[in-house]
Amino acid sequence: MKNVIFATAALFLAACSTRTSPTTREPHLVQTHGERPGIGTTWAEQRESWVEKANFVRGWTERPGGTGILYYNDNEGVDAMLDYLGGESKHRTGLYPTANGLVSFGVRDKDGQWFAGHELKGKRFVVGITGERYELVVKNETDKRLEVVLSVDGIDVLDGKSGSTKKRGYIVDAEETLAVDGFRTSDASVAAFRFGSVPESYVNLKKRGTANVGVFGVAVFQERIGATARDTDSAYRKVSERPAPTGRIFATPPDA
């Protein structure tokens, strides 16, 4: 399952960059050479955000109970993807059900307002705004704890490296909502998510390629009930009080 959802997203984005529009709408297609237009996610200012380790034994180690993708771009970029798909989209805002109904997934701005979105042929799109700070929101739609592994532009939000279902994630309690507002830099802080140009994106500056720029990914794991927890079964949960440092190395700045 490693990188499956990210590879799928890259294929779709590549198709949008090379195919002409099947509709009469004026196309705004992604260039196939030179600087790529549109937006990505930058490594922005440090923000206080506390987590601590918590035991969570997955039902299946690397097999999630469900996965989901949200595409994002500026207005022109989203128009290009909708043109490629063809047909009339539905305007959508707020949370989108995904991952086999285990969670709902959405994106909101620094003031808690949802970004505008579209839905077409089973794909969901969020219209981002250059310079705006945002947060990923995951709502647990079940009556049991879940673990969610999140990626932005193919980059894991906890360690700043390539996303994978082998990575550990955040624990979301039953029927609770988790908001993640940056790449984690320590037990007590994150580097804020902020929309910016593709060349300035964190993934590009880390030289990990831009194939997945414009993709939010989530993999959701269910808990194995009755299992005996070990140190290696640790995920992370957000807390309201500063925890004792774990010493773990999280994501590092682009120039590190």
Dump pLDDT digits (tens) for 123-151.
Answer: 999 999 999 999 999 999 999 999 999 99
Q: What is d(CA 236, CA 158) in angstroms, rounded to the nearest whole number?
A: 10
CB of 148 closer than 8 Å to CB of 180? no
| Residue 11: predicted pLDDT | 64
End-to-end CA distance of the chain: 29
Q: What is the pTM of this model?
A: 0.89
| Residue 9: predicted pLDDT | 74
In tens, the pLDDT along 161-181 reads 999 999 999 999 999 999 999
CB of 181 closer than 8 Å to CB of 160? no
Q: What is d(CA 99, CA 208) in angstroms, rounded to the nearest whole number?
A: 26
Provide the phi-psi class of 253: left if phi over 0, else alpha when psi is between -120 and 50, else beta. beta
Q: What is d(CA 194, CA 233) in angstroms, rounded to the nearest whole number?
A: 31
Structure tokens at 57: 């034994």
**What does the radius of gyration of the chain's CA atoms come to, in whole angstroms?**
18
Stretches where the chain sits below pLDDT 50 are: 1, 19-33
